Amino acid sequence: MIFPRTSRHRVTTTLLAAAVTAGGVLAVVTPLAAPSAAQGPPPPPLRNVKYTVFAEQPFYVDIYYRDVDPPNWAAYSHNPYSFSPKAKAQIGPDQQWNLDVQLADPDQWAMVTATSGPGEAKPNIHCVLAVDGVVVATNQGPKGALCSIRSW
For 75, phi and psi rounded to 5 degrees?
Answer: -65, -40
Domain boundaries, the chain: 5-33, 47-148
Distance CA 42, CA 150 (A): 24
Put the strands of the sheet holding 111-115 in their side by side order: 86-91, 59-65, 111-115, 144-148
For 140, phi and psi rounded to 5 degrees?
Answer: -155, 155
* pLDDT classification of 3: cutoffs 50, 70, 90: very low
Distance CA 78, CA 20 (A): 60
Question: Mean pLDDT over residues 95-118, rounded?
Answer: 95
Could you confirm whether domain 47-148 is CATH 2.60.40? Answer: yes
Residue-level pLDDT at 35: 55
Residue 121 has pLDDT above 50, yes or no: yes
DSSP SS3 for 67: coil
Distance CA 93, CA 59 (A): 10
- Would you say the pTM of this structure is higher than 0.85? no
Share of the chain above pLDDT 90, in %: 65
